[in-house]
Structure 1
Amino acid sequence: MPVSSSTPDQTRTDSLEAHLKRENPLLLEPLAEFRRLDAIARRMGLLARHESFTRSVPWWPVISLLGTFSAGKSSFINSYVGTDLQRTGNQAVDDRFSVICYGEDAQPRTLPGSALDADLRFPFYRISGDIDDVAAGEGQRINNYLQLRTCQSERLRGKILLDSPGFDADNQRSATLRITDRIIDLSDLVLVFFDARHPEPGAMRDTLEHLVARTIHREDASKFVFVLNQIDATAREDNPEDIVAAWQRALASSGLTAGRFLRIYDEDTAPPIENESLAQRFKAKKDEDLAEIHRRMTGVEVDRAYRVVELMTSAADTLAGDAGVGRLQTLRARWRNRTLGIDALIALPLIAAGVAAFVWTPDTAGDLMGLLFSGRPAGWFLLAVVVVVLAAIHFGVRSLVATRIARAIEPASQQPFGLDIRRAFVANTRWWRSLFGAWPKGWTFFARRRVARIRSKQETIIRRLNDRFTQPSG
């Protein structure tokens, strides 16, 4: 078998290109622009050779189900795909994230988390590194956090479902929240489930804080849908609307004043509601809200196309803006100013010593200066020694200052789009790099022009998407 010389990123983007040619050719242009951004960022040192902006883009539509452990997420998935794929129960039955996708085998399969961590095609590629960032050594236990499940359901074609463990069921909290944040960023639709059978929303304060209060100010906040599940349980209350109102107040207390719950239940497993008129009212509301959820789930492919274009522009803006080139310029200026300042502090005592030598021992100082500039071999040698010592001091100062600044730079995992500011800064402070360069390494005239063109393409690509999905002229 021949050995391929392609990089993992080339393998990933080639796979994406083949997929998009079949599914949505309009996204081939954004993919090409992402590749151009990758090339520029790598020349600047902002991306490693195996890294890519495409890692931050959910090319396959992703639908996430988050919430508390008894909120009925797994039951909803089983009903949606038409088979008992996920285990269900009133207690925590699974403490791992389940990534669910279409599979050709009639029998559902469960694969370990390493199948996701090592596969470039899935949104959890190298998630073990993120887990290690918050819990050292836990990345090696990736199978304790993730699993891949396949199901031969037509509803799963072209999309990925993500089922999360309950927030209050997992004792590996920091790593779970890190994965949850990654899920939210990658998702086209986030269904946040709450259990109507637990009428005291104050008990779900952690969930409300993380999934409501921290998300309402996001630019993509519209992708969050709040689902009050097992709503049939409230039919046995004297006033079932009070339960819903309590949850609405809980949302409002977390800052989501305009929020509302979609109210559903599993009609096949729910006990019958004895009051016929009440049963009809609950069923009508459930059918209406469930249809709305299914409509949103079906529409993620269209939403995803527009989101990819927005992320293309966002990546170009990040690279050229304050988080990319601007941050490098600031760090380089700090490095230059500190280096020159220390050079000055070292030079001043040397100058003072030279002046003192002329004042106190003018004959000796004069003889030494005469030797330096006499043109004789001894003078040249002495001059070379002086230059080498001064250069060694200067470059030693440069290196020391650069090292201290680099240590304070946040890792790539904490930077937008995974930009490695530390790597790029180090590349800009090599001994052969000038202190006074106008632009960071790789940020050439052609690179600036290319990024400007990418930033200006958003409207053109959006119009092409509109032509496919809408008919504004009728």
Structure 2
Amino acid sequence: MSTTNILKHLANLEKHLAEEHPDNPVLTKAVHSFRKLDSVAQALGLLERNESYATYVTWWPMIAVLGTFSSGKSTFINSYLNLSLQRTGNQAVDDKFTVICYSRHDEVKTLPGVALDADPRFPFYQISHNIEEIAETGPQRIDAYVQLKTCPSEKIRGKILIDSPGFDADSQRTSTLRLTQHIIDLSDLVLVFFDARHPEPGAMKDTLEYLVAATINRPDANKFLYILNQIDVTAKEDNPEEVISAWQRSLAQAGLLAGRFYRIYDKDAAVPIDDPQVRERFEQKCEEDLADISARMQQIEIERSYRIAAMLEQTANIIETQVVSKLEAALDQWRGQVFTLDSILLGLLVVLTGAALTVTESWHLVERCMAGISAGGILPILSGAFLVGVLGYIHLTVRKSVSRSILKQLATEYSHDHTASKQITRAFSKSTAGYRPMFLKSPAGWNTTNQRILAEVKEDANDYIQMLNDQFTDPSGHQESEQQEQQANLPQKQQAENVENQKDSIVSRLMEK
């Protein structure tokens, strides 16, 4: 995307949000704050001129459905939408990410991945560039990874639902893991499904590590719902609670020590439960948990507004407290190593030069050169310039070599987060460019102006959250009191209007007479 295109995209986004949410100006204002955040990130080198943090979020409320093979993800989606939309089965039935959205047309339509790649409103906008980078078998078409399905279900109106391929971290393709991480980052709500029919979750250590352990320390960890699906199969066990306890222990080992653990099943596909008391208990628990899950899915539009406002503040804080500190530490390491190598090489060069002059008995050349410089001769000056050029070349070579070494260290340190790795290495490269003096301790672009802009962005984010609170909360009860007062005054106003109308009518009749 060129610089012109990103500006056009942001302008269209502001227009779209203003039309789509005229009663919620927070989203439109947030785009302006993203522009300010982009200017700081571009100055530091974290973003290119044709990039924006606004493209790192989905502006439609988004729900991601992740889970292991045969965990009932597709069955849950079909039941939720009341449509036979996704294929179901005990084995892997789909190896693509499916983006599901509302359509006014009655029939379900499946569109190719390019429909997502070219539309900035969807979560896989321009994902083809990432796929080209990470495809293990060389460049592949985006259609091999993602697809778009439309359906007329009212439950999906105004939001996006994403069904992911059955998850198995032990054998998952790197590209699929990368796309999964991309989806997790963008989603407002993540439903993580596990299969209750597999009573030995300990065998899924790597999968639990990725789906649970890697998420609990995130600042948005509350958006993850962990769901044990197809729980009806445990009804015939001697001790069905032991199956649930086994899963809870495994999740606790992965780090999930607190939080809600949902237990559901699909009644249409459930196994018969003969004991009426057990059946009633299972059905009641399933209905309660399904109702809670559905409620969370319905309120994500509100959560989306808060999430975007919070992302502004979080990103500004990360740049100010983590990224800049990391760059300063890396630059200190780089300067120290460059000065050390420069000193060693310069000392070695002096020793070798002195040894060569001694062996060849050529010290008189040095005396002659000094005399020539004093006399203003051109040859000694050219010789001196040549020496300075050699020393400069050695210094720049050392700078570049040490920079490459530290870049590899940074890439390894941030290997778990592709986006962060790309940004931090790009910013470090900008700060160690050959034209930049080494004595500058601050990273490139880090100055008082950009510090002030980050402070403004954080202040904007707090203002947006307060505006959202004013829309959805009323701790003091003022709004309710005003509404009650307006309702109380309504009959008086109506009576006054009736009196005025009667007066006008009487005056009109008198004038006619």
Q: TM-score, normalised by structure 1?
A: 0.87
2:220 counterpart of 1:188: no
CA drift of 1:403 comes to: 4.2
Distance 1:240 1:30, change over 3 A: same
Deviates more, 1:217-226 or 1:135-144: 135-144
Q: Is the 8 A contact 1:209 1:254 kept in 2?
A: yes
2:448 counterpart of 1:445: yes
Q: Is the 8 A contact 1:56 1:417 kept in 2?
A: no
2:311 counterpart of 1:302: no
CA drift of 1:6 comes to: 5.7
Deviates more, 1:69-78 or 1:241-250: 241-250
Aligned partner of 2:485 in structure 1 is none
SS at match of 2:322: coil
Could you list the per-position Cα deviations for residues 130-173 of structure 1 after superposition, in whole angstroms to 9, with x for gaps in the alignment? 45555534552432322211112221122111112222499543
- Residue among 408, 431, 434 paired with 1:431: 434
Could you list the per-position Cα deviations for residues 392-419 of structure 1 after superposition, in whole angstroms to 9, with x for gaps in the alignment? 4434443444444445542998366565
Aligned partner of 1:26 in structure 2 is 26
SS at match of 1:431: coil
Could you list the per-position Cα deviations for residues 209-255 of structure 1 after superposition, in whole angstroms to 9, with x for gaps in the alignment? 32223323333222221222233333444554444334333333433
Aligned partner of 2:230 in structure 1 is 230
How many angstroms apart in 1 are the aligned matches of 2:141 and 2:2? Answer: 30
Q: Which amino acid aligns with 1:55?
A: T
How many angstroms apart in 2 are the aligned matches of 1:401 and 1:78? Answer: 55
Q: Which amino acid aligns with 1:16?
A: L
SS at match of 1:322: helix
Q: Which amino acid aligns with 1:336?
A: R
Aligned partner of 1:16 in structure 2 is 13
Aligned partner of 2:458 in structure 1 is 455
Q: Which amino acid aligns with 2:395?
A: H
Aligned partner of 2:4 in structure 1 is 7
| Aligned residue pair count | 470
Aligned partner of 1:263 in structure 2 is 263
Aligned partner of 1:398 in structure 2 is 399
Q: Which amino acid aligns with 1:343?
A: D
2:302 counterpart of 1:339: no
2:470 counterpart of 1:467: yes
Deviates more, 1:443-452 or 1:413-422: 413-422
How many angstroms apart in 2 are the aligned matches of 1:308 and 1:49? Answer: 22
Distance 1:467 1:68, change over 3 A: same
Q: Is the 8 A contact 1:248 1:259 kept in 2?
A: no
Aligned partner of 2:484 in structure 1 is none
Q: Is the 8 A contact 2:42 2:48 kept in 1?
A: yes
Distance 1:206 1:28, change over 3 A: same
Aligned partner of 1:348 in structure 2 is 347
Could you list the per-position Cα deviations for residues 301-338 of structure 1 after superposition, in whole angstroms to 9, with x for gaps in the alignment? 12222221221112112222332x23333333333333
Q: Which amino acid aligns with 1:341?
A: T
Structure with higher Rg: it is 2
SS at match of 2:111: strand
Distance 1:48 1:272, change over 3 A: same
CA drift of 1:80 comes to: 1.4
SS at match of 2:226: strand
Could you list the per-position Cα deviations for residues 254-312 of structure 1 after superposition, in whole angstroms to 9, with x for gaps in the alignment? 33233443222223444654444444333332221111011010111122222212211
Aligned partner of 1:374 in structure 2 is 375
Aligned partner of 1:177 in structure 2 is 177
How many angstroms apart in 2 are the aligned matches of 1:260 and 1:216? Answer: 13
CA drift of 1:386 comes to: 3.8
Distance 1:315 1:259, change over 3 A: closer
Q: Which amino acid aligns with 1:331?
A: A
Q: Which amino acid aligns with 1:340?
A: F
Q: Which amino acid aligns with 1:442?
A: G
SS at match of 1:101: strand
How many angstroms apart in 1 are the aligned matches of 2:431 and 2:129? Answer: 26
Give the root-mean-square deviation of aligned CA atoms.
3.2
Q: Is the 8 A contact 1:131 1:178 kept in 2?
A: no
How many angstroms apart in 2 are the aligned matches of 1:365 and 1:242? Answer: 89
Q: Is the 8 A contact 1:101 1:157 kept in 2?
A: yes
CA drift of 1:473 comes to: 1.6
Distance 1:427 1:221, change over 3 A: closer
Q: Which amino acid aligns with 2:256?
A: L
Aligned partner of 2:48 in structure 1 is 48
Q: Is the 8 A contact 1:96 1:146 kept in 2?
A: yes
Q: Is the 8 A contact 2:58 2:121 kept in 1?
A: no
Aligned partner of 1:91 in structure 2 is 91
SS at match of 2:192: strand
Distance 1:195 1:160, change over 3 A: same
Q: Is the 8 A contact 1:33 1:312 kept in 2?
A: yes
How many angstroms apart in 1 are the aligned matches of 2:143 and 2:70? Answer: 23
Distance 1:383 1:126, change over 3 A: same
How many angstroms apart in 1 are the aligned matches of 2:376 and 2:255? Answer: 79
How many angstroms apart in 2 are the aligned matches of 1:431 and 1:405? Answer: 16
SS at match of 2:110: strand
SS at match of 2:267: coil
Q: Which amino acid aligns with 1:165?
A: P
CA drift of 1:41 comes to: 1.8
Gaps (5+ residues) in structure 2? 478-513
Deviates more, 1:169-178 or 1:29-38: 169-178
How many angstroms apart in 1 are the aligned matches of 2:362 and 2:3? Answer: 69
Distance 1:364 1:192, change over 3 A: closer
Q: Is the 8 A contact 2:3 2:49 kept in 1?
A: no
Aligned partner of 2:487 in structure 1 is none
Q: Which amino acid aligns with 1:371?
A: G
Aligned partner of 2:74 in structure 1 is 74
Q: Which amino acid aligns with 2:372?
A: L
How many angstroms apart in 2 are the aligned matches of 1:407 and 1:216? Answer: 28
